[in-house]
Amino acid sequence: MTIDTFDGTGVRASHWNLGPVIEQLRTSREATHNIRHQGKVRELPSREALVAIVDGISAVLFPTHYGRPNLTDESIDYFVGDTLNTTLNRLSEQVRRGLQFDKQFDGLDEEALTQKAHAITREFAAGLPQVRALLVSDVHAAFAGDPAATSIAEIMLCYPGTIAILHYRIAHLLHKLGSPFIARLISDIAHTKTGVDIHPAATIGASFFIDHGTGVVIGETAILGQGVRLYQHVTLGAKRFPLDASGALIKGTPRHPIVEDDVVIYAGATVLGRITIGAGSTIGGNVWLTQSVPPNSNVSQALMRNECR
């Protein structure tokens, strides 16, 4: 007779015949279905650490909004310096972990990976003033473009689009500097928080505004000029994915839209393929667009229906 015992969790323990299951999982993990990079166990980057890192960078860029609201002119620089030093140390470790999964660094020893991570982190720190300048332009664009906005502080604290853009600007710099894995994780953290999915490799100019935000998708090779405004559920995606002779996807090819300066794209619009939306154009809500339009165009559902007749 089997006697059940309690394990301290309030759940009556039982017997699951785990031996064969564990053995089969080990075989799958180590041999049959091994998906590890180069077949080796490696320490993955930590999402929890990256959340803290983004919080730290945000506090460095905007100390009283994302850091401590009681900072003074005397204390603010000390806070920025201490927070930046701590955050960069943490970032360097996460960058090092991410580099282990980059094929171009296969074969490098731990010391070489560490030095490369330090170099990337140092360049990242040097780029933070420019990141802040871009973010300030984005915030001003939101304030100018939304009649419901009452203050800059409201935009920075309450607008999911602003939070998503902040994550994007940080991730994009890391991607440019050679840390794509960490950049992608930061973008996914923003996606989880805001419902906005921006690939860190996308190129986005100054004064960018995402109103409402939820459901916005911007693909890897998209290029957006200055003063672009998007509303919720806008997709800047790929129309098709080219294949090589073996049928495998060809990655990295330009396949997402080019959106020129001062374009407005309203809610629910889907813009697909390597097409160009000319400067100053307006794309109406729920439009499905797969062809280029010249500057100063106004594209609506009614117009698209007429062209398809």
Report the CATH number that the domain containing residue 51 is assigned in CATH. Answer: 1.10.3130.10
Instruction: Say yes or no: 106 and 243 in one domain.
Output: no
187 pLDDT higher than 80: yes
Contacts of 38 (CB under 8 A, 6+ apart): 106
Which pLDDT belongs to residue 5?
53
* Mean pLDDT of all residues in 46-53: 98
Q: Is 308 exposed, middle or buried (0-12, 13-18, 19+ CB in 10 A)?
A: exposed
31 occurs within a structural domain: no
Residue closest to 62 by CA, chosen among 129, 141, 143: 129
Q: Of the residues 134, 164, 196, which one is the last residue of a structural domain?
A: 196
Instruction: Say yes or no: 48 and 158 in one domain.
Output: yes
CA–CA separation, 260 and 158 (whole Å): 28
pLDDT category at 10 given cuts 50, 70, 90 is: low
276 occurs within a structural domain: yes
98 pLDDT higher than 90: yes
CA–CA separation, 185 and 171 (whole Å): 8
Which pLDDT belongs to residue 1?
45
pLDDT tens, 251-271? 889 999 999 999 999 999 999
**Distance from CA of residue 65 to its chain's centroid?**
21
Instruction: Say yes or no: 58 and 179 in one domain.
Output: yes
Rg for the chain (alpha carbons), in Å? 24
Instruction: Say yes or no: 302 and 239 in one domain.
Output: yes
73 pLDDT higher than 50: yes
135 pLDDT higher than 80: yes
Instruction: Say yes or no: 84 and 117 in one domain.
Output: yes
pLDDT category at 9 given cuts 50, 70, 90 is: low
* Mean pLDDT of all residues in 175-189: 98
User: Could you count the other beta carbons within 10 Å of the beta carbon of residue 107?
Assistant: 8
Instruction: Say yes or no: 187 and 241 in one domain.
Output: no
Instruction: Say yes or no: 50 and 184 in one domain.
Output: yes
Which pLDDT belongs to residue 236?
98
Instruction: Say yes or no: 95 and 50 in one domain.
Output: yes
Which of 49-53, 58-62, 246-250, 264-268 has the least mean pLDDT? 246-250
231 pLDDT higher than 90: yes
4 pLDDT higher than 60: no
Share of the chain above pLDDT 70, in %: 92
Average pLDDT of the chain is 92
34 pLDDT higher than 90: no
Which pLDDT belongs to residue 220?
97
Residue closest to 167 by CA, chosen among 122, 126, 213, 123: 213
Which pLDDT belongs to residue 241?
81
Instruction: Say yes or no: 90 and 175 in one domain.
Output: yes
Q: Which residues pair with 293 in a beta bridge?
A: 277
Distance of CA 233 to CAs 92, 223, 263, 286, 308, Å? 35, 18, 16, 9, 24
Instruction: Say yes or no: 101 and 131 in one domain.
Output: yes
The total domain count for the chain is 2
145 pLDDT higher than 90: yes
- Farthest CA pair distance, the chain: 82
121 pLDDT higher than 90: yes
Contacts of 106 (CB under 8 A, 6+ apart): 38
147 occurs within a structural domain: yes
pLDDT category at 279 given cuts 50, 70, 90 is: very high
Pairing relation of β-strands 223-224 and 270-272? unpaired
Pairing relation of β-strands 203-204 and 223-224? parallel
Which of 79-93, 104-118, 147-161, 241-255 has the least mean pLDDT? 241-255
Q: Which pTM value belongs to this model?
A: 0.88
Residue with tokens 């929890």: 48
* Mean pLDDT of all residues in 45-55: 98
Domain of residue 159 covers 43-196
Which pLDDT belongs to residue 44?
93
Q: Domain holding 244: CATH number?
A: 2.160.10.10
115 occurs within a structural domain: yes
CA–CA separation, 1 and 14 (whole Å): 12
